[in-house]
Structure 1
Amino acid sequence: MSRILTSLTLVCLFLTACEREDTPKTTATPTEYDRAELNALVEAHLQSTDKVFDWNQAPDEVVWSALSLSENEAVLGYQPAGFQDLDARIHEIDVNAGDWLQTRNELVSDLLAATERHTGEAITETDLFVAPEDGILPILDVKILHPEVLSEFRRRADVRYLEPSNYTAAEVQLRSGSGCSEAPADAIAAGDFTTVSPGAKVPWNYDYMNIQQAWTRTQGDNIGLCIIDSGTYPEQSELNGNFGNGRELSRLGVYQPSWWSSRTDGPDDRCGHGTQMAGLAAAPRTSSGSTVGVAYRSDLTAIRATSDVIINASKEKRGVKDALVIAGRDAGTQIVSMSIGDVFSSGTVKDGIRYAHNRGKLIFCAAGTSLSWTSWYGVIFPANMSETVAVTGIQSGSPIQRCNTCHDGSEVDFVAVMQRRNDDDRTSLTLSRSGAQPGYVGGSSAATATTAGIAALVWATDPGQSREQVLQRMKEAASIYPARDGDFGWGMVDADAATR
């Protein structure tokens, strides 16, 4: 039979294999799919299930094909055999001692031996490892060089997941675009902002969430927001010297652009998206004429973890995980905002999310933004996780209608107005690369950063609150609560009501 399978046939094979995980595996060399076939399988899965693609639910031949097409780079999550409830305890473990260290050492030794046994060639730990371990989370970035090594280790009791870390399905992912934008708008419509003292611009859509009314009692003081994205531009003075007012600003970089180097390229934005999101959430209220952020007196940590909005390369997954660990360990951070994601799940990022969540952080994630003709995708990863709060963008007016490029679905928790109903190009406003002239920005990304800012306003009314208390106040002030919509969650948060 021809190996040029239709998308429907491919996804049927995928789903059938998922249902038959207990079927004994053969030792024959598995079928390998080329890139076009594998991407067709992913596309068909997304269309038929409306769910992100999870490598751990895929059969060996699919995973091996992806490894073969991405320099054999894999990520292995481990735990001592029999360890219980790691998702809830991942922030408590010590990978450098006891059963954890023993399990790690046994896995490395066995991987080296299995690779030599199946390939006929001996390798060293230097050859095996793709990236150094962080000493905090139980993750190994390694090379898997033979399909039988993959099959053997996927079924071990001490292996939580073993998945491709660097496979990018360009035909699928690039439809969303990179999200990069740095230039100010040529002109801003007069109706798209109001001016407040001492001369700051308030984006038009803030009125739908009653944000200015909430400012009469809270501006986010003493609450730490962490934006995990593409960094911030050093040229944007509002996120540098003008940030001020006794607030704390940290600009960090954990993204490693080169596979052959462990060096990061610093905190500076090279995309624009991170600057835009930081501006929406926490830009200061100044006399420069630039836009003001929702929580304009909150503290800000802006971490460059990705090159753009898609968490697809292994270096981006590691960057996001490292940023989540930083946020999780920082006592001054209460809220994390991630307007980034992918149609593939990632064990690396999941571990980072759970680490930060278990340490009390309230994590907001974008539900997804795509070109209008591919926005049939459901909620993307990691917004689809139970540990995150998923946000999407809607248009102004009634009834509720998602923005033209926004994703929706059952995992969505909140929405925010991001787009004029009769003009797709008139979205929210935020900081540009430099200067005071703002730029337009929309999608679920902007909705997420805006809602994270509202959370900071709510938390600042009583800094001793728990994450759960803040989230409950937001729910009770949302437009659909106590009902929950199948696509738009609790609805849009009224910041004025939530902060009372």
Structure 2
Amino acid sequence: MLTAAVRVLAAAALSLQSPASVPVRDQQQWVLDALNVGQAWTVTKGKGVTVAVIDGGVDPKLKELRGKVTTGPDMSLSSVERAARPGAHGTAMAALIAGTGAEEGLIGVAPDARILSVPLEVTEQPADGSIEPQPAPRPDGDSGLESPLARGLRYAANHGAKVVSMSIGGYGPLKSEREAVSYALSKGVVLVAAAGNDGQTRYAQTNGTSYWNFPAGYPGVIGVGAVDKQGRRAAFSSDNLSVLVAAPGVGVPVARLGGGYQPAEGTSPAAALVAGVAALIKARHPGMPPERVAQALSSSARGRPAAGYDDKTGFGVVDAGAALNAADRLATAKPGPDVSDDLHFGQGVDSPVPSRPGPEPWRLWLFGGAALVALVTFSGAVMALNQRRR
């Protein structure tokens, strides 16, 4: 039986409220600076791009999202299409992506983008590691039923989404989700997901790596880890090879359902922020395939690990301005020359023809000479013995 509930990664916002005397735009400035969003905005703010938020429902009445949210059917139940109520988590993530900053409110990374809310029933998990999830394999989907996430991905791909943000996750891959991921990628949709908040679990501390969360673990999905204000990996952020890049995920101001703001932590806000940067790239280059968008994000990241990559922050922290520059270069790069069927390795000088197998000539002469000397010596000895007998 497929479960309708999906675990929200990261999202429990801290209960501590932000000081009312500090405008939210000032509170979030460090996040925008960390992502170098200001430089990117001189080129584009995401106009013409729809970002699907597969999460809890999004509040279309929030002042930062007013007039820019389209809501799809609730994907939690396959047989009944019912309207989903707005949720705190989905609303917060949508505002991080495309908040307009109306009335001096929170502004998203791609403020001119639109939001397609694809609601799922979600259960929140604190990001501070106080509740340690026990990994349990999910159904493999061989029953023929699609998971709610798989339905959501197909719906988003078929209804104009160019980017999909998924701050959700569960343990174990599903066949229906793998197929839905492939379907969305084939339609040019960029998929971004939170890597998870299992960095402080007993398993991670014992084994030096975290359980993989899905959809972040599916090939082609951009998995996002979380860093703090200093650009250091957040202790709760999952560390495994699903992490491609990282973004701020500690003390990130988010919009509250019904109004107001509060800080949040987790890989959820980090993934939403990267989805916003992906929207900027798609606005600049609408036809750029998902793998090139991922390449632009990863090749231009700041704070790259000493080895070039690690499983904690991936290739580093996303830089929106640099990512757009990288996307420009990728978009204008000339394709490599076509290779005919009989030239599998392209043009070039042929390697020398290998010599025929067998002993080398000088070894043969050496062996022959030694054998001749031995034969002469032996013959001489025989002749000397014969003379003595006579």
Q: Above 0.5 in TM-score?
A: yes
Aligned equivalents of 2:22, 2:199: Cα separation in 1: 26
Residues 1:194 and 1:250: Cα distance change in structure 2 (over 3 Å): closer
Q: Does 1:319 align with 2:148?
A: yes
What's 1:252 paired with? 72
Aligned equivalents of 1:262, 1:334: Cα separation in 2: 27
Contact 2:169/2:214 (<8 A) preserved: yes
Whichever residue aligns with residue 312 of structure 2, its letter is D
- CA apart distance, 1:397: 1.9
Whichever residue aligns with residue 468 of structure 1, its letter is E
Aligned equivalents of 1:264, 1:177: Cα separation in 2: 22
Q: Does 1:277 align with 2:96?
A: no
Aligned equivalents of 1:375, 1:340: Cα separation in 2: 20
What's 2:361 paired with? none
Contact 1:184/1:433 (<8 A) preserved: no
- CA apart distance, 1:464: 3.3
- CA apart distance, 1:213: 2.3
Aligned equivalents of 1:234, 1:223: Cα separation in 2: 17
What's 1:233 paired with? 59
**Structure 2 unaligned residues grouped into runs of 5+:** 126-136, 205-209, 326-390
What's 1:432 paired with? 256
What's 2:220 paired with? 387
Whichever residue aligns with residue 303 of structure 1, its letter is V
What's 1:286 paired with? 102
Aligned equivalents of 2:265, 2:203: Cα separation in 1: 14
Aligned equivalents of 1:214, 1:178: Cα separation in 2: 27
SS of the residue 1:238 aligns to: coil
Whichever residue aligns with residue 409 of structure 1, its letter is N
Aligned equivalents of 2:177, 2:151: Cα separation in 1: 9
SS of the residue 1:320 aligns to: helix
What's 1:136 paired with? none
What's 2:43 paired with? 217
What's 1:456 paired with? 279
- CA apart distance, 1:495: 0.9
Contact 1:194/1:204 (<8 A) preserved: no
What's 2:30 paired with? 204
Q: How does 1:295-306 map to 2 (within 5 A)?
A: 295-306=110-121
Q: Does 1:408 align with 2:239?
A: yes
SS of the residue 1:253 aligns to: coil
- CA apart distance, 1:390: 0.6
Return the match for 1:468 from 283, 287, 291. Answer: 291
- CA apart distance, 1:412: 0.7
Aligned equivalents of 1:254, 1:238: Cα separation in 2: 23
Residues 1:318 and 1:223: Cα distance change in structure 2 (over 3 Å): same
For residues 384-423 of structure 1, the C-alpha deviation after alignment (integer angstroms, 9 at most, x for no partner) is 111211101012226x3x223221212210001222xxxx
Whichever residue aligns with residue 281 of structure 1, its letter is I
What's 2:387 paired with? none
Whichever residue aligns with residue 235 of structure 2, its letter is N
Return the match for 1:366 from 194, 211, 222. Answer: 194
Q: Does 1:345 align with 2:173?
A: yes
Residues 1:414 and 1:318: Cα distance change in structure 2 (over 3 Å): same
Higher mean displacement: 472-481 or 319-328: 472-481
Residues 1:293 and 1:184: Cα distance change in structure 2 (over 3 Å): farther
Contact 2:188/2:287 (<8 A) preserved: no
Aligned equivalents of 1:167, 1:220: Cα separation in 2: 32
Whichever residue aligns with residue 73 of structure 2, its letter is G
Whichever residue aligns with residue 221 of structure 1, its letter is K
Whichever residue aligns with residue 292 of structure 2, its letter is Q
What's 1:329 paired with? 158
What's 1:396 paired with? 229
Contact 2:25/2:107 (<8 A) preserved: no
Residues 1:212 and 1:445: Cα distance change in structure 2 (over 3 Å): same
Aligned equivalents of 1:372, 1:304: Cα separation in 2: 29
SS of the residue 1:321 aligns to: helix
SS of the residue 1:307 aligns to: strand
Contact 1:368/1:380 (<8 A) preserved: yes
Contact 1:203/1:291 (<8 A) preserved: no
Number of equivalenced pairs: 303
What's 1:129 paired with? none
Contact 1:375/1:407 (<8 A) preserved: no
Residues 1:317 and 1:178: Cα distance change in structure 2 (over 3 Å): farther
SS of the residue 2:244 aligns to: strand
Contact 1:234/1:268 (<8 A) preserved: no
Residues 1:381 and 1:488: Cα distance change in structure 2 (over 3 Å): same
TM-score (norm 2): 0.69
- CA apart distance, 1:337: 0.9
Aligned equivalents of 1:374, 1:394: Cα separation in 2: 21
Whichever residue aligns with residue 444 of structure 1, its letter is T
Aligned equivalents of 2:203, 2:106: Cα separation in 1: 29
- CA apart distance, 1:380: 1.0
Residues 1:217 and 1:233: Cα distance change in structure 2 (over 3 Å): same
Whichever residue aligns with residue 293 of structure 1, its letter is G
SS of the residue 2:193 aligns to: strand
Aligned equivalents of 2:14, 2:311: Cα separation in 1: 36
Aligned equivalents of 2:202, 2:96: Cα separation in 1: 26
Contact 2:9/2:196 (<8 A) preserved: no
Contact 2:47/2:283 (<8 A) preserved: yes
Aligned equivalents of 2:63, 2:138: Cα separation in 1: 31
Residues 1:318 and 1:309: Cα distance change in structure 2 (over 3 Å): farther
Whichever residue aligns with residue 240 of structure 2, its letter is G
Whichever residue aligns with residue 196 of structure 2, its letter is G
- CA apart distance, 1:208: 1.0
Whichever residue aligns with residue 434 of structure 1, its letter is G
- CA apart distance, 1:209: 1.2
RMSD: 3.2
Larger Rg: 2
- CA apart distance, 1:192: 8.7
- CA apart distance, 1:340: 0.5
For residues 319-344 of structure 1, the C-alpha deviation after alignment (integer angstroms, 9 at most, x for no partner) is 211111112223x3211111111122
SS of the residue 1:308 aligns to: strand
Residues 1:374 and 1:277: Cα distance change in structure 2 (over 3 Å): farther
Residues 1:467 and 1:230: Cα distance change in structure 2 (over 3 Å): same
